[in-house]
């Protein structure tokens, strides 16, 4: 049976034994690798090979052979077997003996466990035509999910091999109390199942004698049935175990749900639709901890996850825990129950690289991601999610990226995406409160367009005492009407005429205003913020006269024919409301020609503007002249 080559790679067996019997020593072990798992390892040594009465192969080797041959969901799952030196090793799914956990089992759990053992025996009797011959507590193991598994197949035999001589040969290795006093004289090939029926009756009576009868319907009736029917001295009067499954003890609502989920692969689509359509309502009638403990494994099984009706009517209520708010009476499990019973199963499921299963989990990921511990999310879930973004399936990659977005608030972006990060984006939203608090430390850009040929004087820009209003109404209705506008800090525009740029030096506390004209620079010192409206008034006073129009309606922008450069200048000219900072540098670009200015007005009545109106006069007192007409742009 096996060799060293079939041994599990990366196997680490615990030093402390879980169980020591006459046949083997039972250890827990871990298999390291991509999908680390815990298994049970049974080790048989030469000193445990008893005597030649049992014959060859040894009990553990014979049990291993039968576990490999007879596969059933309720029979202990075979993983691997090998020999090393004089020892023989059997690896199975992780289990512990029923004897070690029976005290903590309630009546409902025992009912479900006995149901599993019955199903395994019915399979052996009706499908494999074999008899177990040693039904007892030592032949039953329990998985971490609480599922009972039948083992102890070292005494199993086919119906045609079940003879009196064989029963005498193995008698010393069987549970004495479960042996009928007259079995070797009345057992035939037609009623060979009576041996296991009698032993099952003894097992049920022993386990249930100290349990409460109020947890499960028909509890007392079933105990009486085991005594009178299954333990009847006449084997012919004992019921077949397939009929025992129909007893009311195994057919109440809770067991009916359990039985359907266990046998789901055998059901047709119509039966599944009816069952899942009403399942969530039925489950709410039972305590949530019992449902989670007993049904958690089944509700998250592959067959349930891939069923269309279950995906629509069941999984949304199972995979989203109650948050104590709107869904407290809708969803099935509270957060505490979800963490205890369902999270361990979900962690295992994320290691399964099946695209159908993964997509179902990702579709509900945002509902249960917060139930993971941070270290679980970081060390177990996140690595598997990162594998998903490298798959060739676009839909899987898209769903995985959405799931990663839900992980970022918990683990942080640095953990999720890795690598070096920097602040590559700025917040461009207007924040008036912040601007008011940090007026002295912020920087703004102000741009003007002024038609000018030369500047002969240094322009004084005094501070205005009031931020809004305060001007004479006559001054406000000037030849230039400007709308308020604040340029965004990411949209810096340049015009073809004059540019006023206001900036601040971060390493100095002294401030100055500069007007740059072509190649020359004029410096205007100031100790306070510049009044923008006053600046516009001073700027306007520099224009001595404006062109005279016969009709102001001729300036309608829809009727104007502007060049491309003029259109750009016009667009930049509209809506100006600059924000002034302490340190300002005002740049004035020398205009190329008066005709380039936005103030260049086409004379429609044939009149030409005299050259003296194009220059700047030292006398700025004509600002209020009535010759200047109001121009709306």
Per the model's pLDDT, the better-predicted residue between 445 and 26 turns out to be 26
C-beta separation of 334 from 351 below 8 A: no
For residue 169, the model assigns a pLDDT of: 87
Residue-wise pLDDT for 211-233, tens only, equals: 877 778 899 999 999 999 999 98
Q: Are strands 480-481 and 631-632 parallel, antiparallel or unpaired?
A: parallel
Per the model's pLDDT, the better-predicted residue between 326 and 483 turns out to be 326
Per the model's pLDDT, the better-predicted residue between 27 and 431 turns out to be 27
C-beta separation of 94 from 144 below 8 A: yes
The partner residues of 42 in beta bridges, in order of sequence, read 26, 90
C-beta separation of 461 from 530 below 8 A: yes
3-class SS shares of the chain: helix, strand, coil, % to 5: 45, 10, 45
With 0-12 CB in 10 A as exposed, 13-18 as middle and 19+ as buried, what is 173?
A: middle
Per the model's pLDDT, the better-predicted residue between 623 and 397 turns out to be 397
| Number of other residues whose CB lies within 10 A of the CB of residue 232 | 17
The lowest-confidence range among 204-218, 327-341, 448-462 is: 448-462
Residue-wise pLDDT for 161-194, tens only, equals: 888 888 888 888 899 999 988 777 667 667 889 9
Residue-wise pLDDT for 472-525, tens only, equals: 444 444 444 444 434 434 444 444 444 434 344 344 344 444 434 334 344 444
* Listed residue (444, 564, 563, 447) closest to 494, CA to CA: 447
- Say which DSSP state 338 is in: I
Look at the block and give the residue holding tokens 């899942």: 276
Split at pLDDT 50, 70, 90, the class of 197 is very high
Planar angle of CA 291, 292, 296, nearest 5 degrees: 110
Q: Is the pLDDT of residue 371 over 60?
A: yes
Span 237-243, average pLDDT: 92
Per the model's pLDDT, the better-predicted residue between 378 and 190 turns out to be 378
Q: Give me the helices (H) in 585-625, please.
A: none
Residue-wise pLDDT for 132-145, tens only, equals: 999 999 999 999 88
| Number of other residues whose CB lies within 10 A of the CB of residue 269 | 10
CA–CA distance, 442 with 581 (Å, rounded to integer): 7
Residue-wise pLDDT for 304-318, tens only, equals: 999 999 999 999 999
CA–CA distance, 200 with 578 (Å, rounded to integer): 93
| Tokens (6 digits) for 1 | 């049976």
End-to-end CA distance of the chain: 98
Residue-wise pLDDT for 78-123, tens only, equals: 999 999 888 999 999 999 999 998 988 888 889 999 999 999 999 9
| Tokens (6 digits) for 419 | 């690598």
Q: Is the pLDDT of residue 409 over 50?
A: yes
Q: For 565, what's the count of Cα atoms within 13 Å in the CB-facing half-sphere?
A: 10
Cβ-proximal residues to 263 (8 Å cutoff; 6+ apart), any chain:
none
CA–CA distance, 422 with 350 (Å, rounded to integer): 32
Per the model's pLDDT, the better-predicted residue between 54 and 122 turns out to be 122
Peptide bond before residue 57 is cis, with ω within 30 degrees of 0:
yes
Q: Is the pLDDT of residue 453 over 60?
A: no
For residue 501, the model assigns a pLDDT of: 40
Report how far Cα 153 is from the mean position of its chain's Cα atoms.
43
Percentage of the chain modeled with pLDDT above 90 = 45
C-beta separation of 633 from 577 below 8 A: no
Q: What is the largest CA-CA distance in the chain?
A: 140
For residue 327, the model assigns a pLDDT of: 53
CA–CA distance, 583 with 479 (Å, rounded to integer): 30
CA–CA distance, 360 with 387 (Å, rounded to integer): 16
Helix axes 288-299, 253-262, angle to 10 degrees: 20
H or E stretch including 406?
helix 394-411
3-state secondary structure string, 84-140? ECCEEEEEEECCEEHHHCHHHCCHHHHHHHHHHHHHHHHHHHHHCCEECCCCCHHHE
Phi, psi (deg, nearest 5) at residue 16: -80, 130
Q: Are strands 96-97 and 584-588 parallel, antiparallel or unpaired?
A: unpaired
- Say which DSSP state 75 is in: B
| Tokens (6 digits) for 257 | 């749900």
Q: Are strands 584-588 and 513-517 parallel, antiparallel or unpaired?
A: parallel
C-beta separation of 536 from 623 below 8 A: no
* Listed residue (232, 241, 258, 225) closest to 110, CA to CA: 258
CA–CA distance, 421 with 626 (Å, rounded to integer): 63
C-beta separation of 93 from 40 below 8 A: yes
Percentage of the chain modeled with pLDDT above 70 = 63
For residue 8, the model assigns a pLDDT of: 79
For residue 378, the model assigns a pLDDT of: 93
| Number of other residues whose CB lies within 10 A of the CB of residue 347 | 17
Q: Is the pLDDT of residue 287 over 90?
A: no
User: What DSSP letter does each residue of 341-390 carry, written as one string?
Assistant: IIHHHHHHHTT---HHHHHHHHHTHHHHGGGS-HHHIIIIIHHHHHHHTT
H or E stretch including 312?
helix 308-313
Q: Is the pLDDT of residue 546 over 90?
A: no
Look at the block and give the residue holding tokens 């993964």: 358
Per the model's pLDDT, the better-predicted residue between 585 and 468 turns out to be 585
Split at pLDDT 50, 70, 90, the class of 442 is very low
Q: Is the pLDDT of residue 348 over 80?
A: yes
């Amino acid at each position: 049976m096996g060799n060293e080559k079939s041994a599990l790679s990366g196997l680490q067996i615990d030093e402390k034994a879980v169980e020591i019997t006459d046949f083997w020593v039972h250890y827990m072990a871990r298999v390291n690798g991509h999908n680390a798992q815990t298994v049970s390892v049974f080790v048989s040594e030469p000193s445990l090979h008893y005597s030649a009465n049992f014959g060859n192969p040894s009990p553990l080797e014979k049990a291993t052979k039968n576990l490999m041959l007879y596969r059933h969901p309720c029979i202990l799952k075979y993983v691997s077997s090998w020999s090393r030196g004089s020892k023989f090793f059997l690896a199975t799914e992780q289990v512990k003996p029923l004897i070690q956990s029976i005290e903590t089992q309630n009546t409902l759990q025992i009912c479900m466990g006995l149901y599993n053992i019955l199903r395994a025996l019915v399979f052996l009797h009706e499908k494999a035509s074999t008899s177990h011959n040693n039904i007892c507590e030592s032949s039953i193991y329990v998985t971490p999910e609480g599922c009972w598994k039948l083992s102890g197949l070292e005494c199993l035999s086919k119906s045609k091999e079940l003879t009196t001589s064989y029963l005498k040969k193995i008698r010393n290795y069987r549970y004495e109390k479960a042996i009928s006093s007259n079995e070797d004289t009345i057992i035939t090939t037609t009623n060979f199942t009576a041996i296991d029926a009698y032993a099952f009756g003894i097992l049920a009576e022993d386990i249930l004698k100290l349990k409460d009868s109020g947890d499960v319907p028909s509890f007392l009736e079933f105990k009486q049935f085991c005594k009178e029917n299954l333990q009847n001295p006449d084997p012919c009067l004992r019921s077949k175990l397939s009929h025992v499954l129909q007893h009311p003890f195994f057919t109440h609502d809770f067991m009916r749900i359990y039985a359907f989920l266990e046998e789901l692969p055998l059901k047709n689509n119509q039966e599944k639709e009816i069952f899942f359509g009403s399942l969530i309502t039925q489950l709410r009638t039972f305590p949530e901890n019992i449902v989670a403990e007993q049904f958690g494994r089944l509700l998250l099984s592959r067959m349930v996850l891939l069923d269309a009706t279950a995906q629509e009517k069941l999984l949304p209520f199972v995979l989203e825990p109650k948050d104590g708010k709107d869904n407290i009476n809708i969803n099935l499990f509270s957060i505490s129950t979800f963490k205890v019973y369902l999270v361990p199963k979900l962690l295992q499921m994320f290691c399964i690289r099946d695209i159908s299963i993964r997509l179902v989990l990702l579709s509900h990921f945002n509902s249960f991601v917060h139930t993971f511990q941070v270290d679980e999310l970081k060390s177990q879930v996140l690595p598997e999610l990162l594998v998903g973004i490298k798959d060739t399936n676009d839909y899987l990659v898209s769903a995985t990226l959405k799931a990663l977005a839900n992980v970022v608030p918990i683990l942080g972006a640095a953990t999720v995406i890795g690598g070096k990060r920097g602040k590559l984006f700025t917040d461009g939203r207007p924040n008036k409160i912040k601007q008011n608090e940090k007026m002295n430390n912020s920087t703004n850009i102000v741009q003007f367009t002024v038609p000018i040929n030369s500047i002969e004087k240094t322009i004084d820009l005094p501070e205005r005492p009031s931020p809004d209003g305060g001007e004479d109404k006559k001054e406000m209705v000037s030849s230039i009407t400007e709308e308020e506008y604040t340029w965004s800090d990411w949209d810096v525009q340049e015009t073809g005429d004059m540019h006023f740029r206001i900036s601040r030096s971060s390493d100095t506390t002294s401030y100055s205003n500069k007007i740059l004209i072509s190649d020359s620079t004029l410096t205007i010192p100031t100790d306070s913020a510049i009044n923008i409206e006053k600046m516009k008034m001073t700027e306007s006073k520099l224009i001595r006269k404006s062109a005279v129009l016969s009709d102001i309606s001729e300036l309608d922008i829809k009727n104007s024919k502007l060049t491309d450069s003029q259109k750009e200048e016009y667009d930049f000219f509209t809506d100006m409301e600059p924000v002034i900072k302490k340190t300002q540098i005002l740049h004035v670009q020398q205009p190329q020609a008066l005709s380039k200015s936005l103030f260049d007005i086409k004379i429609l009545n044939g009149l030409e503007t005299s050259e003296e109106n194009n220059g700047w006069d030292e006398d700025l007192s004509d600002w209020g002249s009535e010759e200047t007409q109001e121009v709306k742009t």
